[in-house]
A and B are shown apart, each in its own frame.
Chain A
Amino acid sequence: MDPSLSVSDITSSTKPLSEASSPPVMDLLSEPASEASSAPMVDLLMEPASEGSSAPMVDILSEPASEASSAPMVDLLMEPASEGSSAPMVDLLMEPASEASSAPMMNLLMEPASEPPKPDIDPLADIINDTPLSEGKTPVAAMPQEPPSDLFDDEPSELFAEPRQSNTANDNYNEHPTDIFTEEAITTLPSAVSTVSVNSKTNGVHSDEEEPDIFAEATVELSLDSPRNDRKKKEAAKPSASASAPAPSVSASASKPQPKTLEELIIVFHSTGDGMNAYMAYKVSTQTTLPMFRSKTFTVRRRFSDFLGLYEKLSDKHTLNGYIVPPPPEKSIMGMTKVKVGKEDNSSAEFVERRRAALERYLQRVVFHPSLLQDPDVREFLERDDMPRAHNTQALSGAGFLKMINRATDSLSKMTIKMNESDVWFEEKLQEVEAEDQQLRKLHIMVDSLVGHRKELSVNTGGFAKSVAMLGSSEDNTALSRALSQLAEVEDKMEQLHQEQAASDSFCFAELLADYIRLLGSVRASFDQRMKTWQRWQDAQNMLQKKRETEAKLLWANKPDKLQQAKDDITEWEAKVTQYERDFDRVSATVRKEVLRFEKEKARDFKKQIIKYLESLLQSQQQLIKYWEAFLPEAKAIA
């Protein structure tokens, strides 16, 4: 499907609605080259709209996608089915395979991504256009405002989470399809971010005190970078350049509000010191337009323990209220020691990169969290140059020991608390979380084993390649000798392929699972927190009961002097009970909200990561096809 067709669609639907701003929109969309920037914007804006009017979209979405995929399906299916005869069929198949990075494939995968927004252009056009025109008094402006203030408690986050959602959904729509075959997918991201900012800004103007943070979450973008990883750096550099291009055009179409919230964090690491005293430092560069930061770009240096320290601080503050605080990667004495001792080892480089990526995801989760981003400690972590060294993060320190004891008593008291659950939802969720935790752990072990076996396979394939090369050199039939050395080359490449696949098993899949096993721990902690507040409330109630009994006894005994004291106690405890009950309700609400948010995030993360993983599989199969295709004529040439 060509973009021009879709553009005409959009413009036709846009025009009657808002003539004033339609030209820029049209511009944006009609430019086929700027697909990347146009798609996310539309996506983003269409997201809230889709909530209401999903029906037509479903059709359009499902239609082209299924059509598109059905055609090649036939092709593809036909080919593998007919094996024996090679030549023509091979050609056919190779086409989609080898050209995967080019037109047909991309189109197919892009289609579902870029298509859907079109039908929804009208409502979103509303948003874009109305806001500036009516200076904030239009229904659009009212719409986001209303729900949070009354109606439902949960909704505000849902509604405002939408921009974030769409931002992330963007990743799914656009980043993915392109990602499959190109590496520059990231370029779509910054533009997405900037568009989000537009959206959130327009809404944010009218929102009350509590909301801005939630909007802000949509606008933060993070990436940690290691200097070793040149390619990544380049990618990171690119988006910032390309981001500037789409941004103005977007703001033009949205008129006044300038995107204020573009933020980018780049973290580079340094290694300092020698031997066992060496430590890794990560350079955290932030680029932001969020007003709460002092400047637009700043860079700080952080050690791993600082990341842990940040978690400790956040966890101390926010777990109490039932928030799910994202946990950082675990301290690994083994891995670190290896890095320190054997510097140029392959596995230690992998360890370093793994940890860097884990820290990146950790920080991303923190800043994507609406409430956590507002925390002064987070800001300090990102901004402050001379961060005091984090203490008490040593695994074997005294404080660590204390923490361990605390944890032990906690889990003991957890066991003794018998909560009669008033809300079935929590009970069910907790059970779900526990079951899921168990399954994820199992899965993690298996994926680890797969990684191990794949690495083994890679090594063994390498060994076999060498053997075959030797065999080829001693074979005295020239053609066979040649074919064998070609086979050795194929196997050599396969070794590489298996190696890469093992890496993506580990980075895309195993790491994701490890993250979520940790995260589920935090989820359980927030459930525990809820239970603790409930217990406190119950204890207070019991106390109140006792006080009342004492009062009754005093009345009976007719001791007026102590009666006043007892009455005071009762009022005090009554107040406490009310307070604690309110606490409990509040924590319950937070937990529920957090869990819902967590689940959304989880679904998104899993899909994104697993699709990414599948893409890596796809790529390696594609390579495999290429290698064997090349080998086949060599084998046939043996005579």
Chain B
Amino acid sequence: MMQEGLDDGPDFLSEEDRGPRAVNVDLQTDATLQVDISDALSERDKVKFTVHTKSTLPNFKQNEFSVVRQHEEFIWLHDSFVENEEYAGYIIPPAPPRPDFDASREKLQKLGEGEGSMTKEEFTKMKQELEAEYLAIFKKTVAMHEVFLCRVAAHPVLRKDMNFHVFLEYNQDLSVRGKNKREKMEDFFKNVVKSADGVLVAGVKDVDDFFEHEKTFLLEYHNRVKDASSKSDRMIRSHKSAADDINRIASTLYTLGTQDSTDVCKFFLKVSELFEKTRKIEARVAADEDLKLADLLKYYLRESQAAKDLLYRRGRALVDYENANKALDKARAKNKDVLQAETSQQVCCQKFEKISESAKQELIDFKTRRVAAFRKNLVELAELELKHAKVIFYYTWLSISDSIKSVSQPAVIGSPIGWSTIGPVSSGFGRCRPSF
């Protein structure tokens, strides 16, 4: 097992990612409660996150403290928010997705099996690729868990939640267990009922234009962001495959180039070097697109789902309210149980009003957050794309002018612009290897 110190970890994705990792939400950070994940540890089948809190709130015993939490505990926290009636009027921050290292691990296993059948160089290359992949997934997982906590910490109401405070402070295992089969079945049925109900509720025409508009918008938006997210995943996956191919081409060119020391072999070596560099950058392009684009879309896929859930809750409350009104009318007509109907009508009315009130603000916030996050990510994406394209352009250009020179006069092959002397790009994977 090996420690995965993220903050002093390799600079895989890009220099700019050093800052707060909560890239997908624009949060007004507030000195009274700051939460981050300072460290994470990858064990066999689970990841342990060190949640670090800095706070001046009086209900914490200390100003600064850390606890170790696992993915299940995050889920527990999320579910406790969802189940709490009090929070029905808020967009519950979406739960982070389960860490999924299976694919990566499987590949590594395959690599181990195929070790005998490939050359040492190919093996090293493959290993590098896999390690990079693993590292990227790891970082992403950590980032998503952190985003969740940050969102909660920045929320004016949720940040005061007792469960949240326990989650942050209690330095023992929360001993939450994963849901058992029965509970999972229950959840499943609940979801079925909910979505059937959701269709029903969605069919009800809203009295409020704002919510009516939001409802149509969110329904459409959610579907499209879902589509865009899966498409971006596919795009990035093929980009990665292309980068891997370039990597393999580079190593074969290298083998070709080392066969003897003729002019053309030297040329192969040089081209191999260029390919090697190119693939590194192409891999970064793919990784950056993943981080800036795919993750953004994925996050807003979940967040728009949460917003939809909020609208559903409101819609449900509205239907309840209308039903209560009808029941009251009936009761009045029959002059039976009027008081009871009146109370229930009151309760429903209050609930609906309360949800409507906070929901409006939440949805406006959601939009602000979304626009800000898209702006930030798209600008960064464009800048990174530019940066990478320029580096590749530069290397390729250098290689061409170098080659032309060496073609016209073989004697200058060892030109003053040696490949080794320039290289702003360094991988640094070697420093840190995740354990599997």
Say whether A638 contacts B245, CB under 8 Å: no
- The residue that A467 contacts in the complex, of B227, B255, B264, with Cβ under 8 A, is B227
Say whether A474 contacts B408, CB under 8 Å: no
Say whether A83 contacts B384, CB under 8 Å: yes
Q: Is B397 an interface residue (CB 8 A)?
A: yes
- The residue that B256 contacts in the complex, of A76, A77, A440, A638, with Cβ under 8 A, is A440
Q: Tell me the bound Cα distance from A487 to B228 in angstroms.
A: 12
Q: Tell me the bound Cα distance from A68 to B401 in angstroms.
A: 10
Residues of chain B lying within 8 A (CB to CB) of residue A636: 375, 379
Residues of chain A lying within 8 A (CB to CB) of residue B220: 474
Given A86-B383, A177-B404, A443-B256, A464:B234 Cβ within 8 A: yes
Residues of chain A lying within 8 A (CB to CB) of residue B225: 471
Kindly supply a per-residue 1/0 record for chain B positions 414-432, scoring 1 wherever the CB is within 8 Å of any chain A CB and 0 otherwise. Answer: 0111000010100000000
Say whether B221 contacts A457, CB under 8 Å: no
Question: Which residues of A424-478 have CB atoms within 8 Å of chain B's CB atoms?
Answer: 432, 435-436, 439-440, 442-443, 446-447, 449-450, 453-454, 456-457, 460-461, 463-464, 466-468, 470-471, 474-477
Residues of chain A lying within 8 A (CB to CB) of residue B262: 599, 603
Say whether B267 contacts A70, CB under 8 Å: no
Q: Is A639 an interface residue (CB 8 A)?
A: yes
Say whether B224 contacts A467, CB under 8 Å: yes
Residues of chain B lying within 8 A (CB to CB) of residue A618: 393, 396-397, 400
Closest to A105 in B: B397
Residues of chain A lying within 8 A (CB to CB) of residue B63: none
- The residue that B217 contacts in the complex, of A108, A432, A474, A479, with Cβ under 8 A, is A474
- The residue that A109 contacts in the complex, of B224, B379, B404, with Cβ under 8 A, is B404
Q: Is A378 an interface residue (CB 8 A)?
A: no
Residues of chain A lying within 8 A (CB to CB) of residue B350: none
Say whether B231 contacts A453, CB under 8 Å: no
Measured CB to CB, the closest approach of chain B to A238, in angstroms, equals 24
Q: Is B389 an interface residue (CB 8 A)?
A: yes
Interface-side segment among B31-39, B95-103, B235-243: B235-243
Chain B facing A: main interface SS: helix
Residues of chain B lying within 8 A (CB to CB) of residue A461: 235
Given A443-B252, A471-B228, A54:B411 Cβ within 8 A: yes
Q: Is A49 an interface residue (CB 8 A)?
A: no
Q: Is A79 an interface residue (CB 8 A)?
A: yes
Q: Is A373 an interface residue (CB 8 A)?
A: no
Q: Tell me the bound Cα distance from A622 to B386 in angstroms.
A: 10
Say whether B231 contacts A463, CB under 8 Å: yes
Residues of chain A lying within 8 A (CB to CB) of residue B390: 76, 79-80, 93, 97, 621, 625
Given A70-B417, A460-B238, A628-B389, A58:B409 Cβ within 8 A: yes
Q: Tell me the bound Cα distance from A454 to B244 in angstroms.
A: 11
Measured CB to CB, the closest approach of chain A to B14, in angstroms, equals 8
Say whether A447 contacts B375, CB under 8 Å: no
Say whether A607 contacts B411, CB under 8 Å: no
Residues of chain A lying within 8 A (CB to CB) of residue B221: 471, 474-475
Say whether A611 contacts B404, CB under 8 Å: yes
- The residue that B267 contacts in the complex, of A58, A97, A177, A607, with Cβ under 8 A, is A607
Q: Is A391 an interface residue (CB 8 A)?
A: no
Q: Tell me the bound Cα distance from A439 to B257 in angstroms.
A: 10
Kindly supply a per-residue 1/0 record for chain B positions 52-83, scoring 1 wherever the CB is within 8 Å of any chain A CB and 0 otherwise. Answer: 00000000000000000000000000000000
Say whether B238 contacts A456, CB under 8 Å: yes
Closest to B14 in A: A83
Measured CB to CB, the closest approach of chain B to A492, in angstroms, equals 12
Say whether A77 contacts B245, CB under 8 Å: no
Say whether A112 contacts B256, CB under 8 Å: no
Residues of chain B lying within 8 A (CB to CB) of residue A456: 238, 241
Residues of chain A lying within 8 A (CB to CB) of residue B415: 62, 65-66
Q: Tell me the bound Cα distance from A448 to B217 in angstroms.
A: 44
Given A457-B242, A603-B263, A112:B405 Cβ within 8 A: yes
Sample of 8 further A-B pairs with CB below 8 A, known A68-B401, A453-B245, A618-B397: A76-B394, A77-B394, A84-B16, A172-B404, A446-B245, A446-B249, A467-B228, A487-B378
Q: In the A-B complex, list the 4 residue pairs whose CB atoms are closest, starting with the nearest.
A: A450-B245, A638-B375, A603-B264, A635-B378
B interface residues (Cβ-Cβ under 8 A, vs A): 14-16, 217, 220-221, 224-225, 227-228, 231-232, 234-235, 237-239, 241-242, 245-246, 248-249, 252-253, 255-256, 259-260, 262-264, 267-268, 271, 274, 278, 367, 370-371, 374-375, 378-379, 381-387, 389-394, 396-405, 407-409, 411-412, 415-417, 422, 424
A-B contact pairs, 23 of them (CB 8 A): A62-B409, A62-B412, A66-B416, A73-B398, A77-B422, A83-B387, A84-B16, A84-B383, A113-B404, A172-B408, A443-B253, A443-B256, A453-B238, A454-B242, A467-B224, A474-B221, A483-B375, A484-B374, A602-B264, A611-B404, A617-B396, A628-B389, A632-B379
